[in-house]
């Protein structure tokens, strides 16, 4: 089976085996998948600056016209040399999986095919076909672990002839998000700011690196649970731009409504007031008004329906990883609209 474990991918990319002209990269972090796909592209031998040697295709479009993938794979480069076909947004499409099986069994002589996908399960047809193919390689890409994050920081510091002290490194780690490309962008911005200084300090990090804090996640969850519909788009964009994962937001939303369910039971079954139920929960003082507003609006029945909805959307976003952002936006918006309706009814 042609596949690598997550911890083996970096080593493979440093010494790539070019006998695998079909390469699948998959995982929950699209930034990390894209970054590693770019490494494979550079190592493919194709001229990335030549539009006749490099082509990028969308997986959704290939599902409707899979013949184009075969046409591109079998086309010879106009001026000789290898060609690169990069397929983005792959998921559970059957046509692409079947095509990959054919290409892995009978690989094109002068082309490298790099496929970028979301978080594929072991049973996903595309992943299975690549892992079975004699000329294909599957590379799982998972979110940065501490060691991988440190390696990326060291790479960027070395490229800018900079060092970073221990306190600054710890502060930087805390501020980086889950998306590899977004994290690298923040480190590159920091290096540009500190260029010529020799060493990056904690003060530099605090000055220039954006903080993807839990406060912003909490603010987004509170906006959804209290019906602040107009606030949501900007809050969601801030979190996504900083690299926060959709799973992180969905998980925070699920925990919040589980907490509301417990407090609602205290009110409806235990006779507690909204204020006393919230007080026992001990939220941060800044969030207390939002907790009270949400608890006052949501009924026990409505909370149960919403929890079921969140759980279903989490499962759906795992199955359709390419649509995870769209699903998360819809979840938060629909819940916020429902909260606004409930609060309006309660005020009548």
Evaluate if residue 176 carries a pLDDT over 90: no
pLDDT digits (tens, 9 = 90+) for 46-104: 888 888 889 999 999 999 999 999 999 888 776 678 899 999 989 888 999 999 999 98
Q: What is the mean pLDDT of the chain?
A: 86
How many alpha carbons fall within 13 Å on the CB side of residue 92? 13
* pLDDT band (50, 70, 90) for residue 240: confident
Strand ordering across the sheet containing 54-58: 54-58, 83-90, 111-117, 22-26, 136-140
Nearest to 276 by CA among 291, 261, 254, 287: 291
What per-residue confidence (pLDDT) applies to 23? 94
Task: Name the pTM for this structure.
Answer: 0.51
Q: Does 11 or 300 have the greater pLDDT score?
A: 300
pLDDT digits (tens, 9 = 90+) for 244-297: 678 778 888 998 999 999 999 999 888 889 989 888 888 877 788 999 999 999
SS3 176: coil
What per-residue confidence (pLDDT) applies to 79? 67
* pLDDT band (50, 70, 90) for residue 143: low
Evaluate if residue 171 carries a pLDDT over 90: no
β-pair type (163-164, 136-140): unpaired
């Amino acid at each position: 089976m042609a596949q690598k474990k997550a911890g083996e991918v970096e080593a493979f990319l440093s010494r790539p085996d070019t006998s695998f002209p079909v390469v699948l990269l998959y995982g929950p972090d699209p930034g990390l998948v894209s970054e590693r796909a770019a490494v494979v592209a550079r190592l493919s031998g194709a001229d990335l600056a030549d539009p006749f040697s490099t082509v990028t295709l969308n997986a959704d479009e290939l599902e409707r016209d899979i013949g184009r993938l075969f046409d591109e794979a079998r086309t010879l480069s106009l001026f000789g040399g290898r060609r690169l076909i990069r397929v983005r947004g792959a998921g559970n499409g059957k046509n692409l999986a079947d095509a990959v099986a054919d290409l892995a069994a009978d690989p094109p002589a002068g082309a490298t095919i790099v496929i970028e996908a979301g978080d594929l399960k072991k049973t996903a047809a595309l992943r299975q076909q690549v892992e079975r193919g004699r000329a294909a390689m599957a590379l799982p890409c998972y979110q940065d672990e501490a060691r991988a994050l440190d390696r990326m920081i060291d790479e960027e510091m070395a490229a800018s002839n900079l060092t970073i002290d221990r306190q600054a490194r710890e502060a930087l780690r805390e501020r980086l998000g889950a998306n590899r490309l977004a994290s690298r962008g923040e480190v590159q911005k920091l290096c540009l700011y500190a260029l010529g200084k020799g060493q990056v300090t904690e003060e530099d990090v605090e000055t220039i690196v954006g903080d993807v804090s839990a406060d912003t996640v909490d603010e987004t969850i509170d906006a959804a649970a209290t019906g602040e519909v107009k606030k949501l788009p900007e809050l969601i964009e801030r979190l996504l731009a900083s690299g926060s994962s959709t799973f992180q937001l969905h998980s925070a939303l699920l925990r919040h409504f589980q907490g509301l369910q417990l407090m609602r039971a205290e009110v409806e079954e235990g006779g507690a007031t909204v204020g006393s139920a919230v007080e026992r929960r001990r939220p941060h003082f800044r969030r207390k008004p939002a907790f009270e507003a949400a608890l006052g609006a949501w009924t026990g029945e409505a909370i149960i329906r919403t929890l079921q909805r969140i759980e279903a959307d989490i499962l759906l976003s795992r199955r359709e990883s390419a649509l995870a952002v769209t699903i998360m936006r819809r979840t938060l918006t629909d819940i916020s609209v429902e909260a606004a309706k409930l609060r309006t009814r309660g005020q009548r």
